[in-house]
Chain A
């Protein structure tokens, strides 16, 4: 009989082992009935615990769904009133929501009964890991037929790219030259978000992950603001009814400098732009090795 510790087997049941380690355990399971029975018992225990926790959550969600949430904007409840009425059994959920509203801030539509795991907070970076299929499906949703219209041959002509992207989002969008900042323009494509075109311009430095500039129709103008999305940092701004997002795995100072360089270039470009809106002549693409 092979000796495998409960530590190893629980880690196996919990999916905490590396693939090679899991395969090694599985090979043992095929030949050792005692270990196989132990793993089955641990799996059963694990499953019962998961079911127990699911049952509690189901009860809480049912309570939440049964209690209509106050949605009036600007709802203000005095703090004392909240404490007095707080935890009556039938109104527990409402009471808790009111506590959150008790300082006089408006409540945005919370939909908190639908998907407890989903982050309604744009700042929120959840601990729950999505699997690769979910991540890929979300990325797939950004693709449209137009994504493939900018062929590889066009990628060497920044003016032609700018014209195509500009036609889609309604404003000139020549890929900014970020060579002085150590970034080479790599390629561009047209994505789709919420049925609206979303331009993506990709840049690559000598090392590290790509930096992307996104542009879509947006607000008239807004100053650059830095925000972190998990491991990805972003600087967002709007200008001439186009919303921009510069994103990459960079620190705040570096990304803000890049954004400033792009914005400065846009101002210079505006001053020199020809107003006829005609497409630039195609030029031969650079020879590929």
Chain B
């Protein structure tokens, strides 16, 4: 394959993955508008630096890593990263539009919103993209062990939260019907 065809195929591959890349950027940035802007900047950088893409590398893994790398670079370049605006609750909730009418529960949305972006992405890559821990770690520049540890902590925490909520809403039922006096 000639070099120009090869780079054209990268572009076509990126187009085919746009919805997945957008989801990744949305969850990282915390909203659709911010995600679109982040993805736009990332795509421009990917195209400018496409020569860095190595043949044989999974294109989705490379593209996700590039988006994450740009987000991290921008965070590091920020004059005061600690004072960056927090995620807007309404914008974040609007990410979860279900087209088939099956609504995502507010508890899970609130739980995801409360997570740091790196942990949200760990979940997305393993539960949403079904990457193995090594690939997910490659995207987020952490070890597979870190991915595994994050996953256990987050899923167990959500399970605990759901169980506690179920406990709060449980009602006491009478197991045996009381005999009424004749």
Contacts and interface: CB of A to CB of B under 8 A. Distances in A.
B18 A45 contact: no
Contacts of B39: 96
A179 interface: no
B23 A57 contact: yes
B33 to A, nearest CB: 6
A117 B20 contact: yes
A61 B19 contact: yes
A30 interface: no
B70 interface: no
Contact of A46 (B6, B104, B155): B155
Contact of A122 (B9, B128, B131): B9
Interface in B121-135: 123-124, 126-133, 135
A57 B19 contact: yes
Nearest to A101: B11
A253 to B, nearest CB: 16
A58 B43 contact: no
Nearest to A50: B127
Contact of A116 (B17, B112, B130, B163): B17
A45 B16 contact: no
Nearest to B53: A123
Given A112-B15, A116-B16, A11 B148 contact: yes
Nearest to A38: B159
Interface stretch (A84-92, A148-156, A163-171, A238-246): A84-92
Interface string B138-156: 0000000000110110011
Contacts, number: 215
B158 A48 contact: yes
B14 A100 contact: yes
Contacts of A225: 1
Interface residues of B, number: 70
B179 interface: no
B100 to A, nearest CB: 7
A136 interface: no
B44 interface: yes
A121 B131 contact: no
Contacts of B133: 16
B102 interface: yes
A52 B112 contact: yes
Given A100-B11, A123-B1, 6 more contacts: A14-B126, A52-B109, A97-B18, A100-B15, A100-B43, A108-B8
Interface of A: 6-7, 10-11, 13-14, 16, 38, 41-42, 44-46, 48-64, 69, 86-87, 89, 92-93, 95-97, 99-103, 105-108, 110-113, 116-129, 225, 227-228, 230
18 contacts: A14-B151, A41-B160, A45-B158, A48-B105, A48-B158, A49-B128, A57-B23, A58-B97, A59-B99, A87-B36, A89-B33, A93-B22, A96-B22, A96-B43, A105-B8, A120-B12, A123-B10, A126-B58
